[in-house]
């Protein structure tokens, strides 16, 4: 198990500025949801800048989350192996080997 970032859904309404009181209310609400970090990413779309906020809970994953991550990783590795074998068989047939 390891420390990981888990996204927590939250509707940030900070686009055009926010009062200190409203910001404090949001921060209190975010803390109550278990948020430990807020990622702030500047973005641009067709030269129009905007900011993406993401609420994050940085914590040790639970045993269930760890097992789920391992299962997904194993499934992905199996899928990659399957694709590699398919590609190998196609090339082998194409090259007459």
pLDDT digits (tens, 9 = 90+) for 14-67: 878 899 999 999 999 999 999 999 999 999 989 888 889 999 999 999 999 999
CA dist 56 and 36 (Å) reads 6
Q: What pLDDT sits at residue 25?
A: 95
pLDDT band at 81 (very low <50, low <70, confident <90, very high): very high
Q: What pLDDT sits at residue 35?
A: 96
- Give φ, ψ of 84 to 5 degrees: -60, -45
The domain ranges of the chain are 1-61, 62-97
CB burial readout 4-19, b (16+ within 10 A) else e:
eeeeeeeeeeeeeeee
Do residues 37 and 20 lie in contact, with contact meaning Cβ atoms separated by under 8 Å? Answer: no
Q: What pLDDT sits at residue 96?
A: 83
pTM of the entire predicted model: 0.64
Q: What pLDDT sits at residue 14?
A: 85
Do residues 6 and 56 lie in contact, with contact meaning Cβ atoms separated by under 8 Å? Answer: yes
């Amino acid at each position: 198990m390891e420390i990981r970032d888990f996204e927590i859904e939250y509707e940030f309404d900070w686009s055009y500025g926010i009062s200190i009181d409203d910001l404090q209310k949001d921060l209190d609400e975010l803390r109550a949801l278990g948020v430990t970090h807020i990622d702030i990413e500047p973005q641009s779309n067709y030269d129009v800048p905007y900011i993406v906020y993401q609420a994050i809970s940085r914590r040790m994953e639970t045993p269930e989350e760890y097992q789920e991550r391992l299962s997904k990783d194993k499934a992905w590795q199996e899928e990659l192996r399957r694709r590699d074998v398919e590609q190998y068989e196609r090339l082998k047939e194409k090259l007459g080997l």
